[in-house]
Amino acid sequence: MNTLPGLPELKPSTLYCIGRNYADHAKELNNPVPETPVMFTKPSSCIIHDNGTILLPHGAGEVHHEAELVIAIGKTGKHIIREQAIEYIAGLAAGIDVTDRAAQTRLKEKGLPWLLAKGLDTFGPVGNFTPPGKPGQLEDIDVIMEVNGQIRQEGNTRDLLFPVTDLIVRLSALFTLQPGDLIFTGTPAGVGPLKDGDLATARIRHRGAELSSVTVNVAHS
Ligand code: ZN
């Protein structure tokens, strides 16, 4: 995809992803709660949009949904301070950090990078980006995953171990954030498998009002 939905002036750049950012999700996978954010990236070729299709790799084990709040960066920044972090946000969207959990488990055991579990084509659905909203909205966003109309995950950004502004501060201390970079901010508990024929929807809401959603099909590649 050449631009981000809702932000036609931005081309997707680096997809930064944060792992284990909700304590209840870290625990469900028997991971320790981290003292600093777990960071990894996905290629921009992961991105699909509403009505797209997640392609399950041939011979893959369990491929999991991870519903997440996704932040789009609107301008270049390095060493961003907390008080100014919100100024770098161009928009918010619902997204899914699709994960080949079986591959990730094998890679973790060998101490290898997660690219082959996280970075495949179609493994990054994102919905329409909406403005970041008033101060305080970022800290009260429901993150919801539905599969075939049933709720599988339901969390709120008030439970993030590292809040959005903290992630921008920490990422920009290490990397020059650029327009079109995305931050997948982590997933709440309830991750689970996606199967051929599933219809998967991630949503973000603020006090009952839907901000963004993305609905995708699931099929064998
Ligand atoms: Zn994730």
| Cα 80 to middle of ligand 1, angstroms | 23
For 63, the 3-state DSSP assignment is strand
| Cα 108 to middle of ligand 1, angstroms | 15
The closest of 117, 170, 145, 159 to 26, measured between CA atoms, is 159
Torsion, Cα 114 120 123 129, to 10 degrees, reads: 100
The closest of 40, 49, 44 to 14, measured between CA atoms, is 44
The closest of 101, 109, 29 to 60, measured between CA atoms, is 101
Where exactly are the structural domains of the chain? 15-220
Residue 1 has pLDDT above 80, yes or no: no
| Cα 78 to middle of ligand 1, angstroms | 24
3-state helix, strand and coil shares in percent for the chain, rounded to the nearest 5: 20, 40, 40
Q: Please give the DSSP secondary-structure letter assigned to residue 10.
A: -
Structure tokens at 20: 């284990």
Q: pLDDT per residue over 183-210, tens digit each?
A: 999 999 999 999 999 999 999 999 999 9
| Cα 100 to middle of ligand 1, angstroms | 11
| Cα 216 to middle of ligand 1, angstroms | 17
Q: Of all residues in the chain, what percent carry a pLDDT higher than 90? A: 89
User: Does the structural domain 15-220 have CATH classification 3.40.720.10?
Assistant: no
Q: What is the pTM of this model?
A: 0.97
Taking residues 146-155, what's their average pLDDT? 98
Average pLDDT, the chain: 96
| Cα 8 to middle of ligand 1, angstroms | 25
